[in-house]
Amino acid sequence: MLIDVRDVTHGFDGGAPVLRDVTVRLTEQRVGVIGANGSGKSTFARMLNGLVVPEQGTVTLDGLDTARQGKEVRRRVGFCFTDPDAQIVMPTVAEDVAFSLRRRGLTRTEVDARVEAALAAHGLAGRGDHPAHLLSGGQKQLLALAAVLVTEPDLLVMDEPTTLLDIRNARRVAEVVRGLPQQVVLVTHHLDLLADFDRVLVFDRSRLVHDGTPADAIAHYLRLMDDDR
């Protein structure tokens, strides 16, 4: 998709801007977003599917304006939160994935087939009847991913999906992300996940301050952190 962010400035509830003058066009398959805590990364990510609508400026995805066509945008843009508990809504694993497919006009058989395929693709085969809240943190994140991907979004936006996971589960999630056919925007503090990304954006104090290759962007970010000491 063409992600077109133009002249975006945004504060919450009339407060100081947490994003200032951000303009960027993204078409790459793998886009990383890095920066210090509070620099505006999550707010930027949430704007890409209309969870946050900019106070000033516009965000469009393939021409769909998040302010006016939020519903259509969210049909095409999936979002994965840091804490999978924030998006697991149903009691069992299979029901949670099936919930994403409601109101899509699919038959029960079609839903069941899609759910089964999604669980198999994300290491959850045979766990459909398992209570979702009893899964481990890593399995919950895989479930959250399965529940988003079953809707076949064109773009997947992920906000620090590995932050709460141990190294093994973080690697598992990273592996799933690496294999996705979809375009991905990934906000992360795990810089090693970005090594083979096409483009990495660096935010600092509400501004987009660097935009380049993973190596250049990470070097820029590390310099910013050193300057702050």
Ligand X SMILES: Nc1ncnc2c1ncn2[C@@H]1O[C@H](COP(=O)(O)OP(=O)(O)OP(=O)(O)O)[C@@H](O)[C@H]1O
Helix (H, G, I), strand (E, B) or coil at 188: coil
Residues present in the chain in total: 229
Q: Name the packing angle between helices 167-179 and 137-149 (round to 10°).
A: 20
* Cα 66 to Cα 21, 50, 75, 155, distances in angstroms: 17, 5, 11, 14
Nearer Cβ to ligand X, position 80 or 98? 80
| Tokens encoding 92 | 């069992």
Binding status of residue 35 toward ligand X by CB under 6 A: yes
Binding status of residue 91 toward ligand X by CB under 6 A: no
Region near ligand X per CB under 6 A, out of 35-43, 72-80, 102-110, 111-119 = 35-43
Binding status of residue 10 toward ligand X by CB under 6 A: no
Q: Residue 84: what residue type?
A: P
Indicate which single residue of 3, 18, 31, 47 sits in contact with ligand X (rule: CB under 6 A): 18
* Cα 216 to Cα 80, 158, 199, distances in angstroms: 26, 22, 10
Euclidean distance between CA atoms 157 and 80, whole angstroms: 6
Binding status of residue 41 toward ligand X by CB under 6 A: yes
CB of 77: closest distance to ligand X in angstroms? 17
| Tokens encoding 206 | 């509400």
Q: Residue 97: what residue type?
A: V
Binding status of residue 190 toward ligand X by CB under 6 A: no
CB of 101: closest distance to ligand X in angstroms? 29
69: nearest Cα among 45, 53, 56, 87: 53
CB of 22: closest distance to ligand X in angstroms? 12
CB of 150: closest distance to ligand X in angstroms? 26
Binding status of residue 49 toward ligand X by CB under 6 A: no
Indicate which single residue of 32, 43, 101, 156 sits in contact with ligand X (rule: CB under 6 A): 43
Binding status of residue 66 toward ligand X by CB under 6 A: no
CB 198, CB 44: distance < 8 Å: no
Nearer Cβ to ligand X, position 53 or 106? 53
Nearer Cβ to ligand X, position 24 or 117? 24
Indicate which single residue of 21, 27, 38, 166 sits in contact with ligand X (rule: CB under 6 A): 38
Q: Residue 212: what residue type?
A: G
Indicate which single residue of 5, 8, 26, 42 sits in contact with ligand X (rule: CB under 6 A): 42
What residues line the site for ligand X (CB under 6 A)? 12, 18, 35, 37-43
